[in-house]
Amino acid sequence: MLINHLLPCGALTDDGASFWLTLREQEKLDLLRLLRSVRLFDRRMVLWQRQGKIGTYAPIEGQEAAQVGSAYALDKTDWIFPSYREQGVAYTVGIPMTSVIQYWSGQIEGCKPPAGYRYVPPTVPIATQLPQAVGAAWAMKKRGETGIAIAYFGDGATSEGDFHEALNFASVYDLPVLFFCQNNGYAISVPFSEQSASKTVAERAAAYDMDAYQVDGNDVLAVYDVVKTARGKQRPVLIEAITYRTGAHTTADDASRYRSEEEVRIWLNRDPLYRYEQLCLSEGLLDEDELIQEDGQVTKQLDRAIREVEKYQPNLPMGLFQHVYHQIPECLKKQQEEVASYADNGSIHC
């Protein structure tokens, strides 16, 4: 049963209307600003990639509501285990844009979370963050902290063994971990119907005696509601957010090879930003001018951020050797000196 609060046209469902009443104005506005900023940011990243300013990039357009809505329900003390496609989550919880840009520019410094954050560096090998999130949730439970760990992953990730092992562990030890799947219909080019014979991701929870929700992932209110509720359970929950990336898998991908324009058009009509804007405008929360003005501010911030990152000076030799071990071992010092000697004579540069 798909949970839906906000229809593609911007009208609230009955459940949506009740939920809307429970929200403070600040929350309503935050969600709107976040959705808009995340989209701006994401589009900028795609542009910068084309301009050669950053490396290969994984766009999130179309998935903003799933990311913003879920992340907005989190606490600062929650553990967040993102995949590589969670720029909207990062933005929502307050990871500096410079960090995100740095990461996609191949600068390891972008992986360092700000002090106090439990935002784990993006995970590239599919599904591997799930058992780790289980462990982090376990640590919280053992310390009696009230908080959760959330693991973000895609529909393709459900086919990996780590998905299964993580859900099994979480349910055996009854740990406060949310498994948040953005089912965007594809693992690169492979549609979910070829990924799995079960029709939904959510129904897999039963195999672990685990609660599950299936939610319209393009509906920021429903996602926010569901994650808030799930978070409160302090138990393992599987959440499937049905969504779609309207862009390519990454900037190196050509999505027209494996899906039709028609399909994309259907999903463009279910745009997560449009519907929430319609709601906010019709509720008189903001007018178009205000929105455009705010966009200008965000754009300025983004441009500052990329300039910041472009100033990058490679930290050599330390960037290669520091933090591999807690101290640089004797044997590695020779290698460190070698790099230093090349950096000094200028034969290594950026």
Taking the least distance from each CB to its own copies, the nearer of 52 and 161 is 161
C-alpha–C-alpha distance, residues 160 and 153, integer Å = 11
Can you name the residues that pair with 119 across neighbouring β-strands?
A: 80
Buried/exposed code over 261-271 (b: 16+ C-beta within 10 A; e: otherwise): eeebeebeebb
Taking the least distance from each CB to Mg ion, the nearer of 187 and 239 is 187
Nearest to 319 by CA among 96, 54, 107, 101: 107
Which residue of 4, 83, 98, 105 would you call a contact of other proteins, by CB under 8 A? 105
Could you say which of Mg ion, ligand TPP, its own copies, none residue 188 binds, taking C-beta under 5 to 8 angstroms by partner kind?
ligand TPP
Restricted to residues 95-114, the positions that interact with Mg ion (CB under 5 A) are none
**β-pair type (79-81, 2-3):** unpaired
Annotated active-site residue 323? The verdict is no
- Going by C-beta distance under 8 Å and a sequence separation of 6 or more, which residues neighbour residue 197? none
Restricted to residues 180-209, the positions that interact with its own copies (CB under 8 A) are 194-199, 203-204, 206-209
Q: Which residue has the tokens 């779609």?
A: 244
Binding mask 121-150 for ligand TPP (x = CB under 6 A): ---xxx------------------------
The footprint of its own copies on this chain (CB under 8 A) covers a number of residues equal to 24
Is residue 350 involved in binding its own copies (CB under 8 A)?
Answer: no
Annotated active-site residue 349? The verdict is no
In what order do the strands lie in the sheet containing 237-242?
Answer: 2-3, 211-216, 237-242, 177-183, 149-154, 79-81
Could you say which of other proteins, ligand TPP, Mg ion, none residue 216 binds, taking C-beta under 5 to 8 angstroms by partner kind?
none
Binding mask 128-157 for Mg ion (x = CB under 5 A): --------------------------xx--
Nearest to 28 by CA among 243, 277, 271: 277
- Residues classed as catalytic: 245, 249, 258
Residues that bind its own copies (CB under 8 A): 159-165, 168, 171-172, 174, 194-199, 203-204, 206-210
